[in-house]
């Protein structure tokens, strides 16, 4: 069968890599893909938000299954678009419709959803420009620090953790009145600050049945010891030692089951991934956020630990047959280190030639911001490659990933040398 993956990052390369291992797979297409997906699939020069072109490619290449990587096409309704076209009714898709994607696309929607269906989350209230005065007064009555979240998609930048009342009130005004995050901050969720350890849990669901995929911890800050600016993600590890059996049982009972019940009660037919960002607060899971897709770079450590045929699982997800699908996870440790362009997450250069990675032996290379320039592979984004090491021990997996990150060479390259070390101390 033929598969089309939408997206161009390390996550999409990892999807292609894992799907290519399936005996059911004939051809993989990626739109638009990168230099890594070009080695194992056919890249199509189509943007992932261009639904008409995507539909044309699906028909031209006899695509049976579409796997949506990023959130934007989901929130914009790629599934709804396919459902609206009779000539695409035979095409299967992994990824929720726009209503399901609201779990990620609107923080206000997702908070109301959590409260309505009893999913543990931080106490919050939502304000708009018209209720700015109430918002400022609300802030004055809260404990510090306090969290302000732009309601809509803001490419991971829409969250402010204010340490003082003045900072909180200024931020709220900037978000609501000066449209600091554009339309995304026309509503702002003000949320209690939760202390604890963060981890992410991934659920694959057909709307009724579900499989809980391996959990992961990511490293969001650019600097070592979690300092500096937020990024898309500088590395990830799986498993996470503080995701004990007891804690994961609480996640399943208190978070996963009520979330699925809520989706059903709202009449949302959800076929896809739910990425649940959690805080382990005094041993209890609290939901920080939902995403309607897999994480990047979390996918680069989650998929290498899934032993079952991913394509079979994805087909079962799309068809509503997940209950029967076989699903096993390896006990091995996976660690990924992301090499980024100098300057990222600020301004960075593109077009630098990448060498050295051909000699990497002990790790899997997932391309992210790369493209082909003739025969050369050049940088084409902030996050350039994710290097995943897998081993029986966390220590060895870290070493493999780090050695590979060292081996990738281009001008201005940077990577964090402490990925997984905090977890190693914990375990
Ligand atoms: P989000 O975009 O919702 O993932 O938020 C970005 C980051 O802000 C999270 O990964 C947390 O580290 C932090 N954060 C968000 N909400 C809270 C909260 N209620 N309490 C503490 N930290 C939070
Ligand atoms: N690594 C975080 C995300 O994919 O949202």
DSSP codes joined into one string, 280-336: EETTEEEEEEEESS--TTTHHHHGGGB-S-HHHHHHHHHHT-GGG----B---EEEE
In a shared domain, residues 67 and 166: no
**Residue 115 within any structural domain of the chain:** no
Tell me the per-residue pLDDT of 63-95, one tens digit each, with 9 for 90 and over: 999 999 999 999 999 999 999 999 999 999 999
Indicate left, alpha or beta for 95 from its phi (over 0: left) and psi (-120 to 50: alpha).
Answer: left
**Residue 105 within any structural domain of the chain:** no
**Residue 281 within any structural domain of the chain:** yes
CATH of the domain at 168: 3.30.1490.20
In a shared domain, residues 362 and 412: yes
Question: Would you state the pLDDT for residue 362?
Answer: 95
For residue 147 and ligand 1, the question of a CB distance below 6 A is answered with yes
| Alpha carbon of 137 to ligand 2 centroid (Å) | 33
**Residue 10 within any structural domain of the chain:** yes
In a shared domain, residues 409 and 266: yes
Environment class of residue 369 by beta-carbon count within 10 Å: exposed (0-12), middle (13-18) or buried (19+)? buried
For residue 95 and ligand 2, the question of a CB distance below 6 A is answered with no
Please tell me the pTM assigned to this model: 0.96
In a shared domain, residues 170 and 61: no
| Alpha carbon of 295 to ligand 2 centroid (Å) | 4
Last residue of a domain, one of 192, 214, 247: 192
CATH of the domain at 79: 3.40.50.20
In a shared domain, residues 305 and 171: no
**Residue 69 within any structural domain of the chain:** yes
Other C-beta atoms closer than 10 Å to the C-beta of 60 total: 10
Question: Would you state the pLDDT for residue 256?
Answer: 98
CATH of the domain at 367: 3.30.470.20
The residue ranges of the chain whose pLDDT is under 70 are none
In a shared domain, residues 181 and 67: no
**Residue 93 within any structural domain of the chain:** no
Tell me the per-residue pLDDT of 130-156, one tens digit each, with 9 for 90 and over: 999 999 999 999 999 999 999 998 877
In a shared domain, residues 188 and 201: no
**Residue 157 within any structural domain of the chain:** yes
In a shared domain, residues 305 and 403: yes
Question: Would you state the pLDDT for residue 41?
Answer: 98
In a shared domain, residues 55 and 141: no
Question: Would you state the pLDDT for residue 238?
Answer: 98
In a shared domain, residues 387 and 274: yes
**Residue 208 within any structural domain of the chain:** yes
Question: Would you state the pLDDT for residue 180?
Answer: 82
Which residue's C-alpha comes closest to atom 5 of ligand 2?
295
Question: Would you state the pLDDT for residue 154?
Answer: 83
Residue in this structure with the two tokens 């990587």, named with its chain if needed: 69
For residue 295 and ligand 2, the question of a CB distance below 6 A is answered with yes
Question: Would you state the pLDDT for residue 182?
Answer: 76
Domain that holds residue 58: 2-84
For residue 146 and ligand 1, the question of a CB distance below 6 A is answered with no
In a shared domain, residues 177 and 204: no
Which residue's C-alpha comes closest to atom 7 of ligand 1?
159
Question: Would you state the pLDDT for residue 398?
Answer: 98
Last residue of a domain, one of 53, 84, 115: 84
Question: Would you state the pLDDT for residue 344?
Answer: 96
| Alpha carbon of 232 to ligand 2 centroid (Å) | 6
Structure tokens at 411: 């001008």
DSSP 3-state assignment of 24? coil
C-alpha 270/C-alpha 66 separation (Å) is 15
Question: Would you state the pLDDT for residue 354?
Answer: 98
In a shared domain, residues 163 and 17: no
For residue 104 and ligand 2, the question of a CB distance below 6 A is answered with no
Last residue of a domain, one of 84, 111, 139: 84
Report how many domains make up the chain: 3
């Amino acid at each position: 069968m033929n598969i089309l993956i939408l997206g161009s990052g390390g996550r999409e390369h990892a999807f292609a890599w894992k799907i290519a291992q399936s005996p059911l797979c004939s051809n993989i297409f990626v739109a638009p893909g990168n230099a890594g997906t070009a080695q194992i699939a056919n890249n199509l020069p189509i943007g992932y938000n261009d639904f008409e072109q995507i539909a044309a490619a699906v028909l031209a290449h006899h695509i049976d299954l579409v796997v949506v990587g990023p959130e934007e096409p989901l929130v914009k309704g790629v599934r709804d678009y396919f459902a609206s076209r009779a000539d695409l009714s035979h095409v299967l898709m992994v990824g929720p419709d726009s209503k399901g994607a609201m779990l990620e696309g609107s923080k206000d929607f997702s908070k109301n959803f959590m409260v309505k269906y009893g999913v543990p989350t931080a106490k919050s209230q939502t304000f708009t420009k018209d209720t700015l005065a109430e918002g400022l007064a609300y802030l004055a009555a809260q404990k510090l620090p306090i969290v302000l979240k732009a309601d809509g998609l803001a490419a991971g930048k829409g969250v402010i953790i204010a340490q003082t009342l003045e900072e909180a009130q200024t931020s709220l005004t900037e978000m609501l009145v000066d449209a600091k995050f554009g339309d995304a901050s026309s509503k702002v969720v003000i949320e209690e600050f939760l202390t604890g350890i963060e981890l992410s849990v991934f659920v694959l669901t057909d709307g009724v049945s579900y499989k809980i995929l391996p959990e992961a911890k990511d490293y969001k800050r650019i600097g070592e010891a979690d300092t500096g600016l937020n990024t898309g993600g500088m590395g990830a590890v799986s498993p996470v030692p503080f995701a004990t059996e007891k804690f994961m049982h609480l996640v399943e009972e208190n978070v996963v089951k009520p979330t699925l019940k809520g989706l059903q009660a709202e009449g949302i037919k959800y076929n896809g991934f739910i990425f649940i960002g959690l805080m382990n607060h005094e041993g209890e899971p609290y939901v920080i956020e939902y995403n309607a897709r897999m994480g990047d770079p979390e996918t680069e450590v989650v998929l290498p630990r899934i032993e079952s045929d991913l394509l079979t699982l994805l087909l079962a997800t799309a068809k509503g047959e997940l209950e029967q699908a076989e699903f096993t996870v390896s006990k091995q440790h996976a660690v990924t280190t992301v090499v980024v362009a100098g300057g990222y997450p600020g301004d960075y250069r593109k077009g630098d030639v990448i060498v050295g990675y051909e000699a990497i032996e002990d790790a899997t290379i997932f391309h992210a911001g790369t493209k082909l320039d003739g025969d050369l592979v050049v940088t084409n984004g902030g996050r350039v490659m994710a290097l995943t090491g897998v081993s029986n021990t966390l220590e060895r997996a870290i070493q493999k990933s780090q050695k590979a990150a060292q081996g990738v060479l281009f001008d201005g390259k940077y990577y964090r040398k402490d990925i997984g070390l905090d977890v190693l101390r914990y375990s």
